Structure 1
Amino acid sequence: MPTLLLVRHGRSTANTAGVLAGWTPGVELDDTGRAQAGALAERLAGVPLAAAVSSPLERCRQTLEPLLAVRPELGEPAVDERLGECHYGDWTGRKLADLAEEPLWRTVQDHAAAAAFPGGESLRALSHRTVSAVREWDEKIGAEHGPDAVWVACSHGDVIKAVVADALGLHLDHFQRINVEPCSVTAIRYTPLRPFVLRVGDTGSLASLAPRQGAPAGGGDAVVGGDTGAP
């Protein structure tokens, strides 16, 4: 089955301001975020990519721009609103330091499955839409490009954490244990039996994610004793 590379967008102006951006329009990458996006293209230089998908928000599309500039065969990224940021409702645009004083903050931290943002969506709904999206895309790309395909999707921190929690078989209440930095790459390979989480929040070299010659395609068994690594 294909390998999904989930990229969190580069550092944004809202990140540096300590503001919960949500779906606020006009939130773009800052200078560091643009540098991170440029470096992402270099980090993925040795990895063949079959497709690119993006959240509709500017910071995600900007993150993919340097990569797509050197991969013209990918064309424009497919945009899927299901990969968009959580709808934080009344929390949108507020300082994180102020939100930490809200009673709901502890629920978000300790019992995420019960957290619903006033005027927005619940974290359960976020998990359902995002996991459904990546699994549907993975199946589609596998059918079109084969079981060794690698594809990239650019999204947001809470989205990626929810997808990783599902892939690891974790209850949503534990998703805050997962950390993904700006412009980090999280790699998941879905198989008929189980997902394999290959990277979480990786900010280093990604060359070993390229398909290996002679490796079994689409297998659902784990390697007993541990993977042998890239040759």
Structure 2
Amino acid sequence: MGVLIGLVRHGSHDDLGTWLSGRTRDVALNAAGRDETATLARRLAGRGVTAITTSPRRRTVETADILGAGLNLTPVLAPDLDEIDFGGWSGQRFADLDGEPDWDRWNAARATAPTPGGETMAAAVARAMHHIDHLAGQGGGPVLCVSHCDVIRGVVAQVLGLPLDNLLRFEIAPASVSWLMAHGQGAGHVLTLNGTA
């Protein structure tokens, strides 16, 4: 018994790989991101998806809206799926962060390293899992949860029982879906990872 959860990363945008968009840059999907997401919607058609919940960031809302249009569903905002609060790092270029000791520590020790005035990786994963546990408790058909790369990585690591320090060992591509069966109270198992068109 459980609920099938599709963890969807938002589609591509112009900040990708250059800026740490975080919560401060109100970045929209670019043409590639819209196309990727439309392709994903076509792949998911006929799979019985019953609901879409989404992080409140513009890039995730746009992704959810495209999926919703393709699946005839109205997405619902879910603040627990929001991007990590990176604090003082949010909105900076990755090139400027590279080599900064605190940034390097964050990427080497996600389980314990802090962000400058933001939240910990553990806190971000806990709130996302809270949302997934809530969905599992409601029961029903498959639900898509549109979120962000590291939040999805953290959830997958949690479900697999991996330390958060290991979450950079697997990829979560734009407009990908990773499926898990959620049983509630943090329990579940990963079915597929990083499925793309």
- Taking structure 2 as the reference length, the TM-score comes to 0.93
Distance 1:6 1:129 in 2: 14
Q: CA deviation at 1:44?
A: 0.5
Q: Which residue number corresponds to residue 227 of structure 1? A: none
SS at match of 2:65: helix
Residues 76-155 of structure 1: pairs in structure 2 closer than 5 A = 76-140=74-138, 142=139, 145=140, 149-155=141-147
| Structure 1 range deviating more: 161-170 or 21-30 | 21-30
Distance 2:160 2:13 in 1: 28
The one-letter amino acid of 2:194's match is G
Equivalent of residue 196 in structure 1, options 182, 189, 192: 189
The share of aligned pairs that are identical, in percent, is 34
| 1:1-231 → structure 2 map (5 Å cutoff) | 1-15=2-16, 18-72=18-72, 74=73, 76-140=74-138, 142=139, 145=140, 149-191=141-183, 194-204=187-197
Corresponding residue pairs, total:
195
The 2-side partners of 1:200 and 1:104 are apart by: 29
Structure 2 residue matching 1:47: 3-state secondary structure: coil
Look up the SS of the partner of 1:34 in the other structure: helix
Structure 2 unaligned segments of length 5 or more: list them: none
Name stretches of at least 5 consecutive residues in structure 1 with no aligned partner: 205-231
TM-score of the aligned structures, taking structure 1 as reference length: 0.80
Q: SS at the partner of 1:14?
A: coil
Structure ID, larger Rg: 1
- In 2, distance between residues paired with 1:112 and 1:192? 24
RMSD (Å) for aligned C-alpha atoms: 1.6
